[in-house]
């Protein structure tokens, strides 16, 4: 089961969220990207507490594609230090695994 991931990133607006989702999907780097928001984020930045409105992108993919996904997000993200992290999918149905496999590409080497 460790062959599958949920990759997340936060962005400042819905337009950028949709752009990243579209890129991930059209390049078959993710089978699904959910966009959640707006949400309120509270965080430290440059030694000060900050607050901003953000959107959360949640991508379902295979572990083998993580490096390509990270590169794509970093190249298309407006933040200096964007959040990009992956959480292993430890349990899901066989049908869901097959669905991810069907809609994600073989990694570029």
Domain spans in the chain, listed from the N-terminal domain onward: 4-103
User: What is the CATH code of the structural domain delimited by 4-103?
Assistant: 3.30.70.120
Closest CA to 17 of 81, 83, 62: 83
User: How sure is the predictor about 2, in pLDDT bands with cuts at 50, 70 and 90?
Assistant: confident
The two three-digit tokens of residue 57, written as one number = 């992108």
pTM score over 0.75: yes
Token reading at 31: 């089978």
**Pairing state between β 48-62 and 85-88:** unpaired
Of all residues in the chain, the percent with pLDDT exceeding 90 is 94
Average pLDDT over residues 100-107: 90
Residue 109 pLDDT class (50, 70, 90 cuts): low
Residue 6 near residue 59 (C-beta atoms within 8 A)? yes
Residue of 109 and 32 predicted with greater confidence: 32
């Amino acid at each position: 089961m460790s062959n599958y991931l949920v990759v997340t990133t936060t962005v400042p607006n819905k337009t950028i969220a949709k752009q990243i989702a579209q890129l991930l999907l059209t390049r078959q780097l993710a089978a699904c990207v959910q966009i959640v928001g707006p949400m309120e984020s509270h965080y430290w930045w440059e030694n000060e507490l900050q607050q901003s409105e953000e959107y959360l992108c949640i991508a379902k993919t295979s572990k083998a594609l993580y490096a390509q996904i990270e590169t794509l997000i970093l190249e298309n993200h407006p933040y200096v230090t964007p959040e990009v992290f992956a959480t292993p999918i430890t349990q899901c149905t066989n049908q869901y695994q097959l669905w991810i496999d069907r809609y994600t590409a073989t990694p570029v080497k």
